Amino acid sequence: MSLRSNNIRILLAAALFTSVVFAPPWLAAVFAFALAARWRAWEVVAAGIFMDFLWLPTSVTFVSVESIPFATLISILTVVCLEPLRRQLLLGPGIL
Amino acid sequence: MKSQFSNRARSRSLLVQALVVALLVSVAFFGFDTLTGGLVRSYARTTASLAWTASAGIISATDGNGFFATRRLLARENAALSERLALYEESMARFRALEDENEALRAIAQLAETEGDGLAARVLSSLGSSPYGTFVIGAGERDGVAEGSLVLTPGGFLLGTVSDADSHTASVRALFSPGSLVDLVAGNISFSAEGRGSGNARAEIPRDAKVAVGYVVSAPAYFGRPAGLIGTIESASSSATQTLFLRLPLNLDTLRFVYVTPIK
């Protein structure tokens, strides 16, 4: 992975975590999508977990709708479901 | 060709392995948090509250110094201002910031006179950052805030309830958080409203119900406290119902203090 690509990934990840704390959710979603579209970006899942710890009203128990960590689940789905797109756009070890 | 196929198979196998690891890590984090009574969430909120406090300070300072003023204004100011005047303006900016804060606290103090026991708490996070309609306030269990405490605007409108409290901060779930259903009363009719976030809600009531724009709606489940105003009413002649659009009578983006009162 080139140094430039690495730097962009780090910048996007920093923007993602910052937007989780300060910005509306759609902006965090944009950064998450941008990261997951290019890389197999597990930091997106970490950001989802962080978002749930920060904003979820209750503990995660799955007994009610408000206790389901949607951000974590969506972030995992985003990283996994964009795999075919990454595979079409990128070949070789770049997708790892 | 064979090599490309084996690379893809290897990549897919790695993805599945990583997915399993991600799920296990998520379950471990959330399980640990649940077992410890919200320890991880408490740390996450404490860490974020440091960032929110720092950013509020930076915004206040830059705003007071006129950092984001127009270029023309800044050029004029640069030509005219002496060092003494700059110092004076800095003092004035500080004074204005304190005056704003004082005004917000005065409104809270008026509310405290009518509400009795309760406390004013600073809003730490933005009210629009959470996908779940929650926000964080700078008061926690040490200040007497507990789960279920009511959170009011300076005008006495019900903003939400405390969903989780740790020692110094608390998470508040807004009454009109996206997707939430709230039972409300307006005039002589009770109805269920669906939260839309940012202090807005939507409800459908019978067409013949006597309501008007500006009516205050109250929440019977919260001791009949006012929960918002009817902002707009939409009805079609072919429909048996009319749609109410409810809103809080203040700009949530500028809300700096809230009043927290125990359930009574």
Task: For chain B, give the longest Cα–Cα distance.
Answer: 79
B46 touching chain A per CB within 8 A: no
Distance between CA atoms of residues B39 and B37, nearest Å: 6
| A40:B18 CB<8 A | yes
Distances (CA, A) of B211 to B144, B228, B237, B238: 39, 14, 17, 19
B192 touching chain A per CB within 8 A: no
B225 touching chain A per CB within 8 A: no
Over 60: is that where the pLDDT of A93 sits? no
- The pLDDT assigned to B256 comes to 85
For the stretch A54-66, pLDDT in tens is 998 888 877 777 7
For the stretch B122-177, pLDDT in tens is 899 888 888 888 999 988 888 888 888 999 888 888 899 999 888 889 999 999 98
- The pLDDT assigned to B222 comes to 86
Closest Cβ opposite residue A57 in set B18, B126, B134: B134
> Is B66 or B60 the better-scoring residue by pLDDT?
B60
B45 touching chain A per CB within 8 A: yes
Over 60: is that where the pLDDT of B89 sits? no
In degrees and rounded to multiples of 5, residue A36 shows phi and psi of -75, -25
Residue B111 burial class via C-beta count within 10 angstroms: exposed 0-12, middle 13-18, buried 19 and up: buried
CB atoms within 10 A of CB B174: 26
Q: Is the dihedral of CA B37, B122, B251, A14 positive or negative?
A: negative
Chain B closest-CA separation from residue A33 CA (Å):
16
- The pLDDT assigned to B27 comes to 87
- Region A71-89: mean pLDDT is 86
Q: What is the mean pLDDT of chain A?
A: 85
B23 touching chain A per CB within 8 A: yes
Q: pLDDT grade, residue A44 (50/70/90)?
A: very high
Q: What is the mean pLDDT of chain B?
A: 81
Q: Is the dihedral of CA A26, A27, A28, A31 positive or negative?
A: positive
In degrees and rounded to multiples of 5, residue B256 shows phi and psi of -110, -30
- The pLDDT assigned to B263 comes to 66
Over 80: is that where the pLDDT of B200 sits? yes
- The pLDDT assigned to B180 comes to 87
- The pLDDT assigned to B43 comes to 85
- Region B221-246: mean pLDDT is 86
Over 80: is that where the pLDDT of A23 sits? yes
Interface residues on A facing B, Cβ-Cβ cutoff 8 A? 20-25, 40, 42, 45, 49-61, 65-66, 69-72, 76, 79-80, 83, 87, 91-92, 95-96
Among B1, B15, B253, pick the best mutation site for testing chain A contact (most A Cβ within 10 A): B15
Highest mean pLDDT, choosing among B40-49, B107-116, B172-181: B172-181
For the stretch A27-40, pLDDT in tens is 999 999 999 988 88
Element (H, E) at B128: none
B85 touching chain A per CB within 8 A: no
- Region B88-94: mean pLDDT is 62
- Residue B131 per-residue DSSP state: T
Over 90: is that where the pLDDT of A47 sits? yes
CB contacts, 8 Å: A22 with chain B: 51-52, 55, 126, 129
Distance between CA atoms of residues A20 and A48, nearest Å: 9
Closest Cβ opposite residue B164 in set A57, A71, A83: A57
- The pLDDT assigned to A14 comes to 95
CB contacts, 8 Å: A56 with chain B: 41, 132, 134
CB contacts, 8 Å: B42 with chain A: none
Distance between CA atoms of residues B119 and B144, nearest Å: 9
Angle between the N-to-C axes of helices A25-38 and A42-55, in degrees from 0 to 180, rounded to the nearest 10: 160
Over 90: is that where the pLDDT of A74 sits? yes
CA B11 from centroid of its chain's CA atoms: 43
Chain B closest-CA separation from residue A7 CA (Å):
23
3-state secondary structure of B194: strand
B17 touching chain A per CB within 8 A: no
- The pLDDT assigned to B127 comes to 82
- The pLDDT assigned to B75 comes to 73
Q: pLDDT grade, residue B37 (50/70/90)?
A: confident
- Percentage above 90 pLDDT, chain A: 43
- The pLDDT assigned to A73 comes to 92
